[in-house]
A and B are shown apart, each in its own frame.
Chain A
Amino acid sequence: MTREREIFEEALEQPTLEAREAFVERATTGNPKLREAVEALLANVLADTFLEQGVAEPLRESLTSAGKLTLQEEQIGDNIGRYKLLEKIGEGGFGVVYRAEQREPVRRQVAVKIIKLGMDTKSIVARFEAERQALALMDHPNIARVLDGGATATGRPFFVMELVRGVRITDYCAANQIPLQERLTLFIQLCYAIQHAHQKGVIHRDLKPSNVLVTVQDGKPVPKVIDFGVAKAIEEPLTEKTILTNFHAFIGTPAYTSPEQAEMTGTDVDTRSDIYSLGVLLYELLTGVTPFDAKELTQSGLDGMRRMIKEVEPPKPSTRLSRVVAGSSANPLTILVDRDLDWIVMKCLEKDRTRRYDTAGELAADLQRYLDQEPVLARPQSTAYRLHKALRRHRAAFAAAATILIAIVAGTTVSVWQAWRAASAERLSEQRRKNEEVLRHDAERERGRALESQERAELNEYVANINLAHQSILAGNLARATELLAKHRDTGSQRFEWRYLWQAAQGDDHRLFAQEASSVLSLANSPEWLVVGLPDSVRIYSSQSGSLVKSLAKSGSSVALSTAGLLATAGKSSVRIWRTSDWAAVYSVPEHRAPIAFSPDGRYLAATSPNGVQIYSSSDGKLVAKIPNSVPPFAFSPDSNVIAVDSSQGIVAWDLNAVKALRVLENSQGMFNAPQVRDMKVLVFSPDGHSVVAARNTLRDGSIFALEVWACATGEKVATMPVQRNTIEHSGMISALAFAPGGQLLASGSRDHSVRLWDLSTLQCIERLHGNSSEVWTLTFAADGQGIISGAKDGTIRLWPTNATTRETFYEGNWMPIKFSQDGRILAAINDQSRFVLLNLRTAEPEDSLTLGKLPFGLWAGAISDDLCVLAHPLPEGGIRVWDLPSRKSVDLESHEIHRSWATIAPDGSTLLAGGNRDSVLWWNLLAPSEAPLRIGGKGALFSRNGAVVTLHDRSIKLWNPTTRTLKAEFPITADFGFGTPLALSDNGGILAAGSNPIAETENAIRLWDTHNGKLLGLCKGHTQGVRWLAFSPDGETLASVGDDSTLRFWNVRTQQELLSIQRLADPVRDILFSPDGHWLAAKTLGGLRLLDGSGDRDAGKTTALGNSPADR
């Protein structure tokens, strides 16, 4: 330091101006030049803003200019991230599209769309990121996958998509003169693609010919929708100002813009806006022009354009066609577009979106009806119209009836034909009766359809909202999920998936203790008090009553309670000590700041000074020790003899009695470099004093947001949690740690909103507590160790019981669930150690068990009757052993055909169906097991809970009378049932579900049939690999499935739409089973048996009556 500066600084310390002048005079005696310099310096100490405001404003400007100079358009050959631009393939209102090459992780060609300059890159990328999860869920052959997105080096947003080499759908149809039927077929495919996206919660928002490309695959045209997610990401909240700047962007596609989009409020766009755009597209496919002329729209100015879209009724397609034809006679579609298509198109183009089709699927279905010459729903429903359609369909039958009528009239006069007449009259009346029946039946069906469409609309909305709610939960937005689910409480509360999501949306069991007005910075508690530190006050609550006892108007960046009846509070510049008996201030430690801590024995107070961490005697505030070179965080050992504190060498353990460093903890350098982390409680001693645990929020050894554990005695690093490398528990900065009193249980709180519990003895994360709606900033254990108290950024303080029940119960071991008892209280299961148990789900104890002797290595483990009395399992040498469980007696069913096979038992235990892999299905009467079984053949057989029997055959399904074992009906179906095809029968026996033959087929679909008539109800498509297990919910509304892709999916049976897809529980799922009350889903996973709780619409904070601590804790 220069002499000049020394004098200057000391002069400033002088208490008065006179003293300052005197000091300077003294210090510079004999050096007038120095005196002048110092005086000039002192004269320039002014309390103005010189240099203080930094250069934020000018910096921004200059950086803009500095940046702008380097901005230029991307060139062919440039690399955008890991994509190399190869060729410009398009240019539109928003940006430029390139064909590009991706080199890793796979080498492939992709399309890269770079958005034009002048748009808000940051929010575009943010919006894209927000949409990404939903986009990733879309998996449809007619949708181009969105692969990636981000910002280029020059700051322009870009999107990476599957490269589609195709032409616009309109161009394709026009150039190839595609006939109407094919156009509609193509368009129907498009509708289903849009429907798929809508089900995943994604709205396109910019459907137009240039976003629907047709490629030709194997000689067949395949439409592909591109640009999903792009419109939403680049859509800006529109204000008058942005309307002006984005006018050109907007008018890129006004012809396809729905009235509500033209409104430009930007908030109110839903799936029905896409329906409108589909309508415009269909209009264009039929007539060759859009409902409103694009040029006319643009010329009418922004307001005129909006008015036109919102108010003007466009001409019907047939009207438009006749007009077009008047001009040129070249359109082959002219005469073909009839009134029905008019209705369909105009229903899409309704200004009031509630009058449009509710879903793209409905639009597709109506077009299909048109193609099948059935009545379309779009048309106003009148009996005359329906009859007209019915007549057209049954033209042949009506004609026959008319002929016979004429014959009768003639026949009455010709006696020779008397006899014949009698017979034919009989035939005739029969025929007429039949015809009437057909008509009546048709009419009924139409009525049923109309009813169904209302129902369908509701179901579609339900499915869409379930999807959205699931995504909201995954994204941590529990409030939004609750809101979505609440809309369907009436119907939803009857269904497993709704209850399951509802519970997830309520978070884990907890209680809101208090809601503070500002963020909770720190917490301290004792059996008497809970002290809450806020930015400008400290609030003290009674631990017992929860009532507010005292509020201190001091900053509470850090608070601490001592066993000696003291409270310490600290802000950024001072530490104060208070008496807890009367909350009187005792003393303060100036120039010290948060964080602070009392030693467990109450002797010491540690606080942070500019020169490092210092130790005071807590009774009188006298300095005891300075710990050189130290920085927070720090922690006292339980015996108060050691303090662990961070330093530039790493975490050092200091002996407080000898005031010397004991050791540096191994590899503990640079643990706390993340911003603001040093003020938080991220370093703790275990209650036994053996271990020191620190939160590491920095990337090291392939992990981040981890906990490091050291042995205090040796300084050796003993563990990192999570133990597995490359696994992440917390997904945000860990901001607080706390040990349960006297235990090995450690809680961590994080900015990811969650609290996690760790068992230090096993080094496992044993509990994840969700329910906070903002960042957890601090936490502590209740004094009795029975709960965790968390404080969050949003000012909430929550109590989390550590012995709370969980929604998911887990049983270790390789258990295969077989059946629930009727009341759902008991689960029959069998494990790979040949042990059979009846597990009481309330006590988690077996009610009964049986060791079965050696089981064969095979596909199935056992079958049991609904009353859990009759158990069957295969024998290693072939045949089946049947147990009467109450009497423990068994009988063996011998058959050389039954070897490594499947079996199923009637609900009442009276009969048993079993089969092998050579189309041999045998049916035993268990009341007389020595009788030879009935040989009925087939590929598989199922009992429903109400006792119906369905068998599956090569080209048919058969229904049987379960008591007489006789055939009731046979229906032809097309399906390929192979060995190992997963099957399920709804509880009422009405619906049969079968997965695709995993060996023979590649579509990975589930087929649903009506067993009353053999009619295929539809396909559930979504699994990316073969389907392995199926289960119906008891009400038959929901089907659960598990595939080789390890996902557990739920389907709405009536619409075959996917409700939700659970990626994996904790391990891949293997087998699933609903409880008869629909409250539980048992799932066998690789790690053990899991029970998913969908038992009720529990409100936040209330505990379920169910269950003990799971067996593995």
Chain B
Amino acid sequence: MNVLAKRSPERGRIWIAAVQGQLSMSEITQILGEISGGNQQGAEQLLSLVYAELKRIAAQRMAGEAPGNTLQPTALVHEAWMRMVGDGDAPFENRAHFFSAAAEAMRRILVDSARRKHAIKRGSGEAHEELQEDRLAQALPDDELLAVDEALELLSKEDPAAASLVKYRYFVGMNMDEAAATMGMSLRSAERTWTYARAWLRRQIGTRGSPPGTT
């Protein structure tokens, strides 16, 4: 599933502009402002922008990297932030919206990739993709990732804050301090939420019959 496939023509224009680095920071800020004003369309627009930006930065970063070098996902998201918003006078809500979009975008990137790999394994993947992805996605522990993702969907209905925290920590790779700051909660309550979310997800995945994390 690719989120970009759903874009409207107008949003598509912005997306292209962003990919070419021509979308000005103030436009992004404007979108962020719209979201704060409750504009749901803005949120979707932001998501696709951040998604594109993350992929673009990742591509840039990875193009020249020797195998074995790691890319810090947090750094990636922060770079996207710096490029798209700048570290300027962004209100706290803007920051929160942005990082929440980034966490979601990162989750989609990962889950898409895991699914593709899964499909390839089972022989149902598209042939031309298989060639490109086969080699690259080998090390992906897609079982755990897909299981977590599925369980996370359920958790987000029951406890959205706990689900967001997992996205920040698991998909973006933020540490507890960063995640707490991003969510505007204290470190102590973030830690509590984390304990709860871990137990909850493990219970959920466990009942499905394949307890993860014990390997």
| A residues apposed to B, CB below 8 Å | 1-2, 5, 8-9, 12, 37, 40-46, 48-51, 54-71, 79, 81, 117-124, 151, 153-157, 591, 610-611, 648, 669-671, 673-675, 697-700
B86 within 8 A of A: yes
Residue numbers in A under 8 Å from B129 (CB-CB): 69
CB distance B201 to A66 under 8 Å? no
Judging by beta carbons under 8 Å apart, are B136 and A68 in contact?
Answer: yes
Per-position contact with A for B195-215: 1 when CB-CB < 8 Å, else 0? 111111111001100001110
| CB atoms of A69 and B132 under 8 A apart | yes
Would you call B66 an interface residue if the criterion is a C-beta within 8 Å of the partner chain's C-beta atoms? yes
Q: Contacts A49-B213, A67-B59 given: A699-B86 contact, CB under 8 Å?
A: yes
- The residues of B that contact A156 with a CB separation of less than 8 Å are 63
Q: Could you tell me if A62 and B202 are in contact, using CB atoms closer than 8 angstroms?
A: no
Give the residues from 107 to 158 in chain B that come closer than 8 angstroms, CB to CB, to chain A: 109-110, 112-114, 129, 132-133, 136-142, 145, 148, 158
Contact of A66 with B20 in the complex, beta carbons under 8 Å? no
Complex partner residue of A54 from B73, B198, B214, CB under 8 angstroms: B73
Q: Which residue of chain A has its CB nearest to the CB of B59?
A: A67
Interface positions of B (Cβ within 8 A of A)? 19-21, 54-56, 58-66, 70-73, 76, 78, 86-92, 95, 106, 109-110, 112-114, 129, 132-133, 136-142, 145, 148, 158-159, 166, 169-174, 186-189, 192, 195-203, 206-207, 212-214
A154 to chain B: which residues have CB within 8 Å? Answer: 59-60, 63
B64 touches A118 (CB 8 A): yes
Q: Do the beta carbons of A124 and B137 come within 8 Å of each other?
A: no
Q: Are A9 and B196 in contact (CB under 8 A)?
A: yes
Q: How far is the CB of B64 from chain A (nearest CB, A)?
A: 4
Q: List 26 A-B contacts (CB under 8 A).
A: A2-B158, A41-B196, A54-B169, A58-B139, A60-B73, A61-B139, A62-B110, A62-B113, A63-B54, A66-B59, A66-B113, A67-B58, A67-B63, A68-B59, A68-B62, A68-B132, A69-B133, A70-B55, A117-B63, A122-B65, A153-B21, A155-B60, A611-B186, A670-B90, A671-B89, A698-B89
CB–CB A59/B106 < 8 A:
yes
> 4 closest Cβ contacts across the A-B interface?
A50-B213, A67-B59, A610-B186, A155-B63
* Contact (Cβ within 8 A) B59 A2: no
Decide if B213 touches A51 in the complex (CB within 8 Å).
Answer: yes
Residues in A whose Cβ lies below 8 Å from that of B55? 63, 66-67, 70
Contacts of A122 in B (CB 8 A): 61, 64-65
Chain B residue, CB-CB nearest to A674: B87
Q: In the complex, how many angstroms separate the beta carbon of B26 from the nearest chain A beta carbon?
A: 11
Q: Determine the distance from Cα of A46 to Cα of B199 in the docked complex, in whole angstroms.
A: 8
Residues of B within 8 A of A669 (CB): 89, 91
CA distance A648 to B181 in the complex (A): 13
In the assembly, what is the distance between CA of A9 and CA of B189, in Å? Answer: 11
A348 to B159, CA, bound (A): 76
Query: Whole-angstrom distance between the alpha carbons of A49 and B202 in the complex?
Result: 12
Q: Are B110 and A55 in contact (CB under 8 A)?
A: yes
Check A5 against B196 for contact (C-beta < 8 Å).
yes
Alpha-carbon gap, A54 to B169, bound state (A) = 6
Q: With A and B bound together, what is the CA distance between A49 and B213 in angstroms? A: 7
Taking CB as reference atom, which chain B residue is nearest A13? B192
Identify A44's interface contact among B136, B188, B198, CB under 8 A. B198
Contact in complex: B140, A62 (CB < 8 Å): yes
Question: What's the Cα separation between A94 and B190 when bound, in Å?
Answer: 50
Verify A62–B137 contact, CB threshold 8 A: yes
Once the chains bind, are A699 and B88 in contact (CB under 8 Å)? yes
Is the beta-carbon distance between B65 and A120 smaller than 8 angstroms?
Answer: yes
The complex places the Cα of A67 from the Cα of B113 at a distance, in Å, of: 11
Name which of A49, A50, A57, A699 has the most chain B CB atoms within 10 A of its CB.
Answer: A50
Least distance between B199 CB and chain A CB atoms (Å): 4
Find chain B residues with CB under 8 A from A57 CB. 70, 139
CA distance A63 to B78 in the complex (A): 16
Q: Which residues of A contact B92 (CB under 8 A)?
A: 648, 670
* Contact yes or no, B62 A670, CB < 8 A: no
Q: A61-B140, A122-B61, A591-B188 are in contact. Are A41 and B171 (CB under 8 A)?
A: no
The distance from the CB of A680 to the nearest CB of chain B, in whole angstroms, is 15
Q: A58-B110, A59-B110 are in contact. Are A670 and B173 (CB under 8 A)?
A: no
Q: Once the chains are docked, how many angstroms separate the CA of A648 from the CA of B55? A: 32
Which of B19, B64, B159 contacts A155, CB < 8 Å?
B64
B63 touches A50 (CB 8 A): no
Q: Are B140 and A151 in contact (CB under 8 A)?
A: no
Q: Nearest Cβ in chain B — how far from A185, in angstroms?
A: 43
Q: How far does the alpha carbon of A56 sit from the alpha carbon of B171 in the complex, in Å? A: 8
Contact of A41 among B60, B140, B203 (CB under 8 A): B203
Assembled-state Cα–Cα distance A37/B202 (Å) = 12
A38 CB, nearest partner CB in chain B, Å: 10
Nearest CB of chain B from residue A46's CB, rounded to whole Å: 7
* A55 / chain B contacts, CB cutoff of 8 Å: 73, 110, 145, 170-171, 173
List 14 additional A-B contacts (Cβ < 8 Å) besides A63-B76, A154-B59: A5-B159, A40-B203, A50-B213, A51-B197, A58-B139, A58-B140, A60-B73, A61-B137, A67-B58, A67-B60, A68-B136, A591-B188, A673-B87, A674-B87
Known: A46-B202, A55-B170, A153-B19. A698 touches B59 (CB 8 A): no
Instruction: Let me know if B188 and A610 touch, CB within 8 A.
Output: yes
Contact A155 B62 (CB under 8 A): yes
With A and B bound together, what is the CA distance between A751 and B133 in angstroms? Answer: 42
Q: Are A50 and B196 in contact, with the CB atoms below 8 A?
A: no
B70's nearest neighbour on chain A, judged by CB, is A60
Q: Which residues of A contact B207 (CB under 8 A)?
A: 40
* Contact yes or no, A60 B71, CB < 8 A: yes
Contact A670-B88, Cβ < 8 Å, known A50-B202, A154-B59: yes
Q: Would A698 and B21 count as touching, CB distance under 8 A?
A: no
User: Which residue of B is nearest A45, CB measured?
Assistant: B199
Say whether B137 contacts A698, CB under 8 Å: no
Q: How far is the CA of A153 from the CA of B18 in the complex (A)?
A: 10
